[in-house]
């Protein structure tokens, strides 16, 4: 008993223990444990009750009491307390890194400095360690920012300069078994969604519908940014002699409509432009998916009604930037512009001797007052409007019409060359056969 009391008296002032527990937030600090175990050794408290106060098992309390009897308060302190970690850097290396950061390598960022130190000075150190060393010595991070780059337009501050559009195909309605297409057109300057609608699948008619509605509502934009979709940009190698001499392929049906309206087509080429292009539609995708789930929208019809009634207006109110419509760049109109004719499918028809225009397996008869005139196939322009109806134009006059048929994707087919003629490729836009 005298031996135990002498050990306790020798360690009566555990100042180092206070230092060890200075930053601890435990319920029972080392000092508290010391006081409880001291009462146990003095016989004022049973070890069973002490284990409850210490919130440890009885076996652990026995080991703690034994450590206190042998080492005093030091028996309650972990053996690694106050020791330097084995993987820590030496003070010499820290001073060297600090000196190099302030002088020789002051222009390097943290990541680049870690690579240079390992290569030239044989100092293995992570970027995070360098960051801590630099910030502790008041060495601020490098904030070298390049001049802001505008990927597609030199002036994004005005609406109508740059318009993005895309068809996003995904499973928008959770209860549906198929994916559908969402057409969206967003202005680059304000981030305003100018037109959006659900369609069963992606086709040229979707883009023509969007173009017609945007021009009718807002005006004609200067340029439209789009991806290299085959519906928007031809990727085939079958060029006619005229195309080869001209140095560019004939545009698609959508490209022809944009050319007629004077809209510049800009396609996404680089990976940086692709990231920018995807980021334009990112917020719209996230918000729309959440709203469709919350309102339990089940099909395309309900989805289009939801878009028109509330979603587009709420989205523009929350995320679009305010713009001065008096300073926008939308071109309001073009003289003698027939928007329905421009935003439609154009076909190459054949005029027979009986004054009937053949398109695929369909025949369109001309009006009697024009049937007697001398006309050729090159003088005529055959159009299928978005409502499915057909019209034949001679300059700006409608000289023939046909009731509505199915609105199908035009097919660009090759024309078989005649004998003893050039073998150059010739193509024409035809209506899919047996689909009327």
Mean of the pLDDT values across residues 34-47? 86
Say whether both 95 and 166 belong to one domain.
no
Check whether residue 173 and residue 225 sit in a common domain: yes
**Least confident residue range of 27-41, 58-72, 155-169, 261-275:** 27-41
182 and 317 share one domain: yes
pLDDT digits (tens, 9 = 90+) for 62-87: 888 888 888 887 788 777 777 777 67
Q: Which two tokens stand for residue 153?
A: 């337009």
264 — pLDDT class (breaks 50, 70, 90): very high
Does residue 8 fall inside a structural domain?
yes
Rounded to an integer, what is the distance from CA 327 to the centroid of its chain?
Answer: 29
The Cα 177–Cα 371 span in angstroms is 51
pLDDT of residue 224: 94
- Is 348 contained in some domain? yes
Last residue of a domain, one of 280, 300, 327: 327
Mean pLDDT of 262-280: 89
Residue 153 in domain: no
User: If you average pLDDT over residues 92-103, what whole number do you get?
Assistant: 83
Q: Any idea what DSSP says for residue 415?
A: P
Q: Is the pLDDT of residue 1 over 80?
A: no
The three-state (H, E, C) secondary structure of 107-128, written as one string: CCCHHHHHHHHHHHCCCCCCHH
CATH code of the domain covering residue 203:
3.30.420.10
DSSP 8-state assignment for residue 73:
G
Based on the fold, state whether residues 356 and 401 are members of the same structural domain. Answer: yes
pLDDT in tens, 383-400: 999 999 999 998 888 888
Give the model's pLDDT for residue 359: 86
At 295-344, the pLDDT tens digits run 888 889 999 999 999 899 989 988 887 655 556 788 877 777 889 999 99
Q: Are residues 72 and 111 in the same domain?
A: no
Residue 129 confidence (pLDDT) above 80: yes
Distance (Å, whole) CA 161 – CA 224 = 9
Residue 57 pLDDT greater than 70, yes or no: yes
Boundary of a domain, candidates 51, 76, 101? 76
Query: How far apart are alpha carbons 46 and 31 in whole angstroms?
Result: 19
Check whether residue 247 and residue 358 sit in a common domain: no
Residues 174 and 297 in one domain: yes
Residues with Cβ < 8 Å from 290, sequence gap 6 or more? none
* Domain total in the chain: 4
- Two tokens at 206? 């979707």
- Going by pLDDT thresholds of 50, 70 and 90, the confidence category of residue 13 is very low
Model pLDDT for residues 155-176, shown as the tens digit of each residue? 456 888 899 999 999 889 877 8
pLDDT at res. 24: 44
The answer to whether residue 335 is domain-embedded is no
Residues 269 and 182 in one domain: yes
355 with 321, same domain: the answer is no
**Of 37, 52, 76, which residue sits at a domain end?**
76
Residue 274 shares a structural domain with residue 199: yes
Asked if 42 and 99 sit in the same domain, the reply is: no
Res. 136 pLDDT band, cuts 50 70 90: confident
Same domain, 180 and 323: yes
User: Does residue 31 lie in a domain region?
Assistant: yes
Asked whether residue 338 is domain-assigned, the answer is: no
pLDDT for the residue numbered 350: 82
Residue 358 above 70 pLDDT? yes
Quick check: is 200 in a domain? yes
Structural domain span for residue 117: 91-136
Domain annotation covers residue 154: no
């Amino acid at each position: 008993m005298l031996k135990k009391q002498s050990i306790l008296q020798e360690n009566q002032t555990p100042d180092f223990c206070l230092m060890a527990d200075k930053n601890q937030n435990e319920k029972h600090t080392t000092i508290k444990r010391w006081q409880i175990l001291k009462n146990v050794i003095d016989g004022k408290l049973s070890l069973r009750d002490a284990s409850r106060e210490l919130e440890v098992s009885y076996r652990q309390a026995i080991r703690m009491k034994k450590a206190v009897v042998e080492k005093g308060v030091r028996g309650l302190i972990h053996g690694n307390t106050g020791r330097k970690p084995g993987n820590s850097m030496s003070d010499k290396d820290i001073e060297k890194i600090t000196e190099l950061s302030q002088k020789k390598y002051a222009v390097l960022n943290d990541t680049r400095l870690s690579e240079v130190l390992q290569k030239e000075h044989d100092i293995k150190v992570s970027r995070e360690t360098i960051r801590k060393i630099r910030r502790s010595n008041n060495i601020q991070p490098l904030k070298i920012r390049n001049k802001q780059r505008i990927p597609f337009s030199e002036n994004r501050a005005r609406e109508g300069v740059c318009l993005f559009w895309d068809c996003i195909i995904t499973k928008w309605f959770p209860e549906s078994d198929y994916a559908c297409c969402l057409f969206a057109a967003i202005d680059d300057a304000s981030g305003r969604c100018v037109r959006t609608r659900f369609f069963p699948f992606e086709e040229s008619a979707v883009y023509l519908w969007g173009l017609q509605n945007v021009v009718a509502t807002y005006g004609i934009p200067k340029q439209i940014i789009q991806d290299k979709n085959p519906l928007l940009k031809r990727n085939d190698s079958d060029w006619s002699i005229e195309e080869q001499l001209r140095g560019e392929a004939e545009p698609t049906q959508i490209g022809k409509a944009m050319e007629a309206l004077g809209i510049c087509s800009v396609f996404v080429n680089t990976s940086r432009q692709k990231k920018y292009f995807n980021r334009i539609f990112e917020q719209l995708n996230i918000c729309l998916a959440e709203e469709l789930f919350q309102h339990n929208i089940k099909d395309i019809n309900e989805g289009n009604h939801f878009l028109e009634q509330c979603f587009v207006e709420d989205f523009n109110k929350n995320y679009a930037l305010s713009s001065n419509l008096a300073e926008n760049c939308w071109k309001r109109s073009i003289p003698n512009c027939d928007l329905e004719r421009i935003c439609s499918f154009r076909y190459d028809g054949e005029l027979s001797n009986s004054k009937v225009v053949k398109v695929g397996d369909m025949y369109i008869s001309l009006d009697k007052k024009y049937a007697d005139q001398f006309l050729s196939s090159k003088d005529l322009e055959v159009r299928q409007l978005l409502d499915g109806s057909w019209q034949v134009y001679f300059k700006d006059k409608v000289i023939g019409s046909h009731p509505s048929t199915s609105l199908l994707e035009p097919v660009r087919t090759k024309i078989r060359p005649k004998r003893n003629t050039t073998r150059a490729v010739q193509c024409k836009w035809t209506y899919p056969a047996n689909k009327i």
